[in-house]
């Protein structure tokens, strides 16, 4: 058997010297190191030898196997190096060719508008406060002066998530960012219940309503809620804040107006409009012929809401507003259909 091992090794090494490419090398491996090779068959025959012969012949067979594997690895490395040299000699790289341009990512137009809103209100001293998108009926409606059965709830068709076992307080996707008013006021008032600190924040985030999709309405949309609470805050402060915001966003010559309205969580309440830039105030499909585009609602925080937030309405007043970033972007960039924002059409998005 020792002679047979020596013969296998000699034959295999001689055949390896003649290998000139990777396919021939793989064929050599299968022939001399594969499961059906003569060397592997000898390993299978070791079990028939006596206890005295088995260790000596097994050791010799392992040595032959290791020698062939080492020779195989050396030959593979040599062939790889030779192939690289041939490639370098025959395939020249022209370093003067221009590189392939990589497409640059862009911020979504909605994100751009939100960041501009953050900047403007940040200069006014407002801080960004984040609130949750999955809310309870209590925070989304009841604590904001929308009692169960209130007709104003019909204006906000709601996606309910879980109602079973929760009684009058089901889980839902928030229909507006206003629940953040209660959460923020309670967080601020908890710092010093006897003398709560003033609040001046904006609350951006996604809202969800089951609405008919049109050029002006979507089932999901961003809002930016604003809230200021402190001693002596008046409706004049609210009008001045929003008018200054409009001038900073749209230019010093922008025209704005406030229209009386009703929201359960503010009293008095108003709608905040900006002149339609698409038609210049003459009337178009986006502004429904009015010449004005509503970008938000506002008003003085209702005493009940202040009290639910932990602030004494006898000592504190405040104002709140809610803005639609998509409508603001439509005005700034003359976008005619709000549905473009979520269609992911690169022809639209790459313009920004």
**Of 204, 197, 206, residue with least CA distance to 309:** 197
Q: Quick check: 72 pLDDT over 90? A: no
Alpha helix stretches (DSSP H) within 91-132: 109-123
How does pLDDT run across 212-268, given as a tens digit for each residue? 777 777 788 889 999 999 999 999 999 999 999 999 988 888 889 999 998 999 999
Please provide the DSSP assignment of 34-57 as one string: STTSHHHHHHHHGGGS-TTHHHHH
Q: Residue 13: its pLDDT value, please?
A: 82
Helix (H, G, I), strand (E, B) or coil at 109: helix
Q: What is the pLDDT of residues 77-110, one digit of tens each?
A: 888 888 888 877 777 777 787 888 888 888 999 9
Phi, psi of 295 (to 5 degrees): -115, 0
Q: Which residue has the higher pLDDT, 157 or 299?
A: 299
Report CA-CA distances (Å) from 340 to 51, 113, 130.
Answer: 83, 15, 26
CB atoms within 10 A of CB 218: 18
Q: DSSP letter for 296, please.
A: E
Query: How high is the mean pLDDT of the chain?
Result: 86
The predicted structure's pLDDT at residue 1? 63
Q: How far is Cα 43 from Cα 134, in angstroms, rounded to an integer?
A: 68
Bridge pairing between strands 199-208 and 292-301 = unpaired
For 127, the token pair is 């801080």
The model's confidence at residue 139, banded by pLDDT at 50, 70 and 90, is very high
Max CA pair span of the chain: 109
CATH number given to 109-349: 3.30.930.10
Structure confidence at residue 181 (pLDDT): 95
Residue 126's nearest CA partner among 230, 201, 57, 222 is 201
In Å, what is the CA distance from 282 to each residue of 144, 249, 285, 307, 346? 37, 21, 11, 44, 31
pLDDT tens string 9-61:
888 888 888 888 888 888 888 887 888 888 777 777 766 777 777 777 777 77
Task: Give pLDDT, residue 47.
Answer: 67
Q: Would you state the pLDDT for residue 69? A: 84
Cα separation of 46 and 290, whole Å? Answer: 98
Residue 284: phi, psi to the nearest 5?
-155, 180
Contact 146, 152 (CB under 8 A): yes
Residues written for the chain: 352
In 3-state terms, the chain is what percent helix, strand and coil (to 5)?
A: 45, 20, 35
- How far is 221 from 341, CA to CA, in rounded Å? 9
Please provide the distance, in angstroms rounded to a whole number, between the alpha carbons at the two ends of the chain.
Answer: 80
Q: Tell me: pLDDT of 201 over 90.
A: yes
Q: Binning pLDDT at 50, 70 and 90, where does residue 315 land?
A: very high
pTM, two decimals, is 0.67
Query: Cα(107)–Cα(80) distance, rounded to whole angstroms?
Result: 46
Tokens standing for residue 347: 């022809």
286: pLDDT strictly greater than 70: no
Q: CA torsion angle for 141, 263, 127, 179 (degrees, to 10)?
A: 0
Residue 204's closest CA among 302, 109, 266, 127? 127
Range with top average pLDDT, 144-148, 149-153, 264-268, 278-282: 264-268
d(CA 203, CA 178): 8
Please state the domain extents for the chain: 2-90, 109-349
Q: Give the pLDDT band of residue 314 (cuts 50, 70, 90).
A: very high
Q: Cβ(176)–Cβ(144) under 8 Å? A: no
């Amino acid at each position: 058997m020792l002679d047979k091992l020596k013969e296998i090794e000699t034959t295999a090494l001689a055949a390896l010297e003649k290998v000139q490419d990777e396919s021939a090398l793989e064929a050599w491996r299968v022939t001399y190191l594969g499961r059906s090779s003569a060397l592997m068959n000898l390993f299978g025959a070791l079990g028939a030898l006596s206890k005295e012969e088995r260790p000596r012949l097994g050791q010799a067979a392992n040595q032959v196997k290791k020698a062939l594997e080492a020779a195989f690895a050396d030959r593979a490395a040599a062939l790889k190096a030779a192939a690289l040299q041939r490639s370098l000699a025959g395939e020249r790289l022209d370093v003067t060719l221009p590189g392939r341009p990589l497409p640059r990512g862009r911020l979504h137009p909605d994100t751009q508008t939100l960041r501009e809103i953050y900047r403007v209100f940040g200069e006014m001293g407002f801080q960004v406060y984040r609130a949750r998108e999955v809310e309870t009926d209590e925070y989304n409606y009841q604590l904001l002066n929308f009692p169960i059965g209130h007709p104003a709830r019909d204006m906000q068709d709601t996606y309910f998530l879980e109602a079973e076992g929760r009684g009058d307080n089901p889980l839902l996707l928030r229909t507006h960012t206003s629940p953040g008013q209660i959460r923020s006021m309670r967080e601020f008032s908890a710092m010093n219940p006897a003398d709560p600190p003033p609040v001046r924040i904006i609350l951006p985030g996604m809202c969800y309503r089951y609405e008919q999709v049109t050029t002006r309405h979507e089932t999901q949309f961003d809002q930016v809620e604003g809230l200021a609470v402190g001693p002596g805050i008046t409706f004049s402060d609210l009008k001045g804040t929003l008018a200054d915001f409009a001038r900073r966003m749209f230019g010093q010559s922008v025209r704005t107006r406030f229209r009386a309205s009703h929201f359960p969580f503010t009293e008095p309440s108003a709608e905040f409009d900006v002149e339609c830039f698409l038609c210049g105030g003459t009337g178009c499909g986006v502004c429904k012929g009015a010449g004005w585009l509503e970008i938000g609602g506002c008003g003085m925080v209702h005493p009940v809401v202040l009290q639910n937030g932990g602030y004494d309405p006898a000592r504190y007043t405040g104002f709140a507003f809610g803005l639609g970033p998509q409508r603001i972007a439509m005005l700034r960039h003359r976008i005619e259909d709000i549905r473009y924002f979520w269609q992911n059409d690169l022809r639209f998005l790459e313009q920004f």
